[in-house]
A and B are shown apart, each in its own frame.
Chain A
């Protein structure tokens, strides 16, 4: 990340109410930081909105980002905000193209932190090959926010021949995960005050359009894509069951979890299936394509640990898991937040 360019608005160490007041300071913040870092022809026009040329079926998605801490091993809220919306578009079968960026900043946010976040947004947008074409900034009084909240919305064109929706899930379909689960959630936890533990676990935040391209090169007959973020693999699959009416049977021994995450989960009493990911795809597709898709995505570093973790079954719409010892249990949707166990 290149962030060595000092900011002229740095006469201020931190963001003030005046930076959101619509006057000179707002203008300087927009030009000297946002437009400078995220530069493109749409932003340079400094218009009320962006006018886009697009054809065909368009996917449109929005996501808001509130994360504590803002900076965590493997990324920050800026990466997340870009990758999150990019991945939502990917899961619609779209090629992500344009994003909006809405910032709600709490007065007092360190200007250096804001700059690091914007630089992360710039780098993530370049990596995902998307343009930030419009944006908005508001500043709220101290105590009325939590440093910074970010909303991104995005649009992308859906590729010809692609039709992704849960209703297409069919008994016998294979379920692939593109890598180790639970890295993001555990990385966040490892850096959270009061629960801090030393680990080398990093967030997996990443744009997944490259992986999607690799999948579609093998087959466009993909029934479902989902990025298992909040609530983890379990929530994503339970939602798919509910929408499709199908059941799902997972094979616990095939679910990839890194040793370190497994260790953290054992001690805290967490189930990795309920923990957030920010750079993984769940792919549901006819079993006959599973091996070829697996081989294709394993060539990408983001998919090197990909595995077939289960299959779609006839209803009832319940996620079940064949445990490592051969028994079967239900994988229910999580109720609230997972909390560390007591002993």
Chain B
């Protein structure tokens, strides 16, 4: 796909040109050839985790399991950004949205994720000023256009959203805005993989590493994980042919007893990542222990706003009084995110928990495993 992004004053412009380089990755002949190769190579049963929710979505949307031999068991990982955003942060966002003179801004998916008692779209219907943006730079524009309001951007996501979320803070600083604040819930993938591998009884034998995260960070971190835990990684994209290529490479490694990091998403990912993006992340954020919804706190698995930019940190300027929000007893999102259960193992799946009434975040986002199962199966 070719698109060019550029910024004009107060307006974000993406120009969509003709869509290219997608159809090749959805070519039925290529898909069938890859499926045949996987069947030829596989000899033993393997548990393979795709980390990224975008990959989970693609697997379900294209029914990729239909192409895989029974020995390949795909396990869905924790890579759905809204799914792992802790309940306490969502409750904080809800409390802040209800405050006077606040405009709460976030990404589309985030607005529907249930907190303890409400969600941001529900608060909007009650009169709170809640807005959806595609880019946090638009949130900065909202702050610039509304100087008498406090504009709070609920910045969530993995390493993929970290650079643009960081850039919004830098932009606000450059514009000398004193009414732009960021509620930060940034998480990092490698520590979560480490946690999954250290779980007692962990059955994951290989990983499709998240292509877009690696586009930012490169994949050096995965090399040390592979060496330490003797598990192979294949950096993988999101189209059906990407995913089957990743699985094929992983199965070859597993059958040969290798545990290397291979890159099958070379058109996007380099080993060192994107140095400009990393520089911005390191400037604005610092690594911190982070709670993952349904999973718990994982050491050094998140980013928080560094003291240099504390003027923009919600945690320093808003007192919500919210601590220790408690999850629903029914939802097994945590086990699903760690790969120890599938959505269909949950007794609420498709009954009490449906997209219209999600009990847990994985039923909300397109990238959530429960939502993908519900929609496509």
Contact = CB atoms under 8 A, between A and B. Distances in A.
Tell whether A pairs with B: yes
Interface stretch (A29-37, A153-161, A326-334): A326-334
Interface in B349-366: 354-356, 365-366
B212 interface: yes
B28 A326 contact: yes
Contacts of A48: none
Interface residues of B, number: 57
B107 A329 contact: no
Contact of B63 (A263, A266, A323): A323
A341 interface: yes
A304 B61 CA distance: 29
Q: Which of B11, B111, B161 has the most CB of A within 10 A?
A: B11
Interface in A311-343: 323-330, 332, 335-336, 339-343
B126 to A, nearest CB: 16
Contacts of A268: 134
Contacts of B60: 329
Where chain B touches its partner, the secondary structure class is: mixed
A269 B82 CA distance: 15
Interface residues of A, number: 32
Contact of A342 (B62, B82, B240): B82
B180 to A, nearest CB: 15
A194 B16 contact: no
A332 B22 contact: no
Contacts of A342: 81-82, 107-110, 156-157, 161, 365, 367
Contacts of B12: 196-197
Contact of A325 (B62, B110, B212): B62
B132 interface: yes
Contact of B13 (A196, A264, A332): A196
B322 interface: no
B262 to A, nearest CB: 23
B26 interface: yes
B376 interface: yes
A322 B131 CA distance: 36
A52 interface: no
B28 A325 contact: yes
B92 interface: no
B81 A332 contact: no
B376 A194 contact: no
B56 to A, nearest CB: 12
7 contacts: A194-B134, A197-B15, A201-B16, A327-B64, A339-B107, A342-B107, A343-B54
Interface of A: 194-199, 201, 259-260, 262-264, 266-269, 323-330, 332, 335-336, 339-343
A265 to B, nearest CB: 9
Nearest to B65: A327
Contacts of B19: 259-260, 262-263, 266
Nearest to A253: B28
Given A267-B1, A335-B355, A342-B82, A194 B63 contact: no
A195 B376 contact: no
B157 A325 contact: no
B138 interface: yes
B265 interface: no
Contacts of B74: none
B133 interface: yes
B375 interface: yes
A325 B240 contact: yes
A330 B375 contact: yes
